[in-house]
Structure 1
């Protein structure tokens, strides 16, 4: 149980509107998880090939667990081969009865968004795409994705898979993700497996003797081979995944790093291929230009007039409390003053008089300091159940329990003091 004590005053400023031409969009600081902008972020929409971010995550996880490694080889079954051979899916063109390494298949998936290599990886890891889909949904639940449904590993419409629809899924279903869930998925991939960016940032590569190209136009493509794409180049972009189907329209989960500040953006259901990159650039500009990471409250911060907590039966009557660590946040210009601190003391550590009982150890957690923001445009944090941001409040020194003799003297003194007061009151009553 926590007891609230005091909140420091704050002020407000008007928020600036940002017009993003997408059905749904979100912008997140990749270090703190702070959501900097959101437009209908919880609307579940088809993510198309952005689905492959989850497949990428599960490949990295399988490698981490030792189930496979980058040099593990596999051959192509009839299902991914049929997808690869179908020109409507515009794949890299796979060969049966040939060994492909996990690295080769992963690169084709992450760089060229190839569907057949994605399915081949799903089959390698789980035995079948149907079993892999179960893994995808389980992992989504573990991550705390709020709006999602995975029915295949690629992001294709299930109906287009015909007889190869993953077992246990609806033949007419589509994968679904909200912008918030897509951003949280990307956040987890980058946090847990940052090496994924080493592949997603590659503009082009060689696969099976052919050149494959990245669909992310914001990367620094070679002007000799893709001069028309140079207009979309964005400094710092190194991922992450495009997506397109007729139903999903044009989507993009992007990430960029400038001067140590990494942002994650998602735009869903934009009207054209150029639009998804133009709207992403608009989001990124907003984040990089208008927000700055600042230390709002330093380590050892104390609320005025609330730095001392009374101590019962201790060698000292009070102990100072302060924040265990500093609090930093991505702050929009002019908004730092809108942050305040609210103390919550642990009631289990207080007696009926609201005092701490000695002994108290230096560094002992006494409660929490809640960080309160009361400015405009507060979109919270990307992680699940992060409605409040708190820092531990700890005792700044040790207060030993008073010895038995002094406690006894205090008790006796209290007894005789009370007795003397009673006698005085009685005598006064005689006159």
Structure 2
């Protein structure tokens, strides 16, 4: 009887353990695999390297709604840096921006018809609350008109190498929502469009060139026109910020977007343990296939957690790294015949934690820096660049990088002086007889 009881107990325990283990194992395997992001397009990128670790339909040209404002922000920061505009500069509301600002069906802060606002105030309303009329006001201040500003947006997109994009206004609204006041040179039914890859590139340049954007983008709420009768408390449209409803570790930006044409979109960024990633989801959908505010944040969180859990920024090759098969170069017209070469900086790569040992160093020699004998000619200074080092996965790379793969310079290790005339003459004679002997031997 005792035996049967023990056997039944053990069998029950094992069954329960296996069920629990199965659930745990399934969850673990699921986490190891790239997530299925329910969106028309998505991408995830590490900022410092530009490494793409996830993409879905990333080159498709789609509506971007207010993610457009990242380009408006870029041009504003650029104008501030070039002293063409200042933060305390004021803007006088005109009939156009007044009418748009009074449309409560659009994301706006209501502007007074006779109101005057600083660029700083308008920028905060744009970056935190995605205020459309405030964005138009900034565009007019920088370029004189929104039509001219749109030209600047498209020119800058080409300069930044975005690839797939089309800007038709400064805000991301449908031109059809602008009450017939769409920018000159654009059509009444035109829309702003970019690919997920182009959107990530724009976010990468904005964060790299003007990281101060995060000081504002990370603000959960602000009071517009604080201390006046027009004071309004504005909550950030990015609900993943600390203290907001979808609070997610490390999230501090960057830009939401929604129109009927684009669906719910979000360019997010988060930093954990010194690693910053950028994610883009476009027309995110819930389990019922419907686009929603919650769906874009759920998709973003799912993507971020996957990347932070399974990827890491790893220093693969340190400063002064030397290649086993090519640690030196021949030197002409010097006392010595060879000089060592090494890297001038460490090379870090964003990779799967389980693949740290699957990368190898690749040397690319700069032929213009070498002589016809694939060496160098004295005199030559320490630090002279003779090539570059990149890391290559032995398993292959399915996603690649937003731009070029990260690399570091390979340089001359020490100063090499040119030998004196006597040394060069003796060496020349020696080389002559060596060559003669070799010919005789053959």
Partner of 2:305: 285
Instruction: Give the secondary-structure state (helix, strand or coil) at the position aligned to 2:357.
Output: helix
Contact 2:107–2:130 at 8 Å: present in 1 too? no
Partner of 1:257: 271
How much has 1:378 moved relative to structure 2? 4.0
Question: Partners in 2 of 1:256 and 1:369 — Cα distance?
Answer: 29
Question: Partners in 1 of 2:208 and 2:113 — Cα distance?
Answer: 36
Summarize deviations over 1:63-84 as a string: whole Å, max 9, x none: 2222222221112111111112
Cα pair distance change 1:418/1:78, threshold 3 Å: closer
Does 1:127 pair with 2:152?
Answer: no
How much has 1:87 moved relative to structure 2? 3.1
Pairs aligned (count):
399
Partner of 1:26: 43
Partner of 2:325: 305
How much has 1:351 moved relative to structure 2? 4.4
User: How do 1:9-408 residues align onto structure 2 when only pairs under 5 Å count?
Assistant: 16-207=33-224, 208-221=230-243, 230=245, 232-270=246-284, 271-375=291-395, 377-383=397-403, 386=404, 388-408=405-425
Question: Partners in 2 of 1:343 and 1:109 — Cα distance?
Answer: 46
Cα pair distance change 1:348/1:265, threshold 3 Å: closer
Contact 2:42–2:57 at 8 Å: present in 1 too? yes
Question: Partners in 1 of 2:199 and 2:219 — Cα distance?
Answer: 21
- Structure with more relative contact order (C-alpha pairs < 8 Å, separation 6 or more): 1
Segments of structure 1 that go 5 or more residues without pairing to the other structure are 1-14, 222-228, 426-431
Summarize deviations over 1:130-178 as a string: whole Å, max 9, x none: 0110111111112111111100011111122232010011222100111
Question: Partners in 1 of 2:78 and 2:155 — Cα distance?
Answer: 13
RMSD of aligned Cα (Å): 2.2
Segments of structure 2 that go 5 or more residues without pairing to the other structure are 1-31, 225-229, 285-290
* TM-score, scaled relative to structure 2: 0.85
How much has 1:346 moved relative to structure 2? 3.1
Question: Partners in 1 of 2:438 and 2:90 — Cα distance?
Answer: 91
Cα pair distance change 1:202/1:404, threshold 3 Å: same
Contact 2:331–2:377 at 8 Å: present in 1 too? yes
